[in-house]
Structure 1
Amino acid sequence: MPGKKYLTEQAATFLKFAMATTDPDIAAGFLDKAADLSAKSAEAPDASPRAPDVEQPES
């Protein structure tokens, strides 16, 4: 499953396409797709790398 960052970037791309076109039907399709990707990104896991757990040495 794609991560949150990927889905957010794809949604932003569809919004740019919607703003760039002059055909209202095509713009509506792009907006629908952006909304779908935005909803999926809210449910997607965050794929950011996480620092490993580090145990403190005993003194």
Structure 2
Amino acid sequence: MAGKKYLAEQAATLLKFAQATTNPDVAAGLLAKAADLSSKSDEAPETSSGAPDVEQPEG
């Protein structure tokens, strides 16, 4: 599952696209998806878990 930070960044990107478009139908779809991602970020863990074969750097 994606972490809170990733989902929040994706939602913010969709909001920027929604503000930039002149098509109200596209803007509404982007806003709906941003709201969905924002809702999922509330339930997500703080950080994304890495792939099982990836070693975390020490330090």
RMSD in angstroms over aligned alpha carbons? 1.1
Give the aligned length. 48
Shift of 1:2: 0.2
Please report the TM-score for the alignment, with normalisation by the length of structure 1.
0.79
Structure 1 residue runs of 4+, over 4 Å off? Answer: none
Larger radius of gyration: 1
Encode CA deviations 1:7-46: one digit per residue, 9 max, x unaligned: 0000000000000000000000000000000000000000
Matched-pair identity in % = 75
What is the match of residue 7 of structure 1? 7
Task: Extract unaligned runs of 5+ from structure 2.
Answer: 49-59
Please report the TM-score for the alignment, with normalisation by the length of structure 2.
0.79
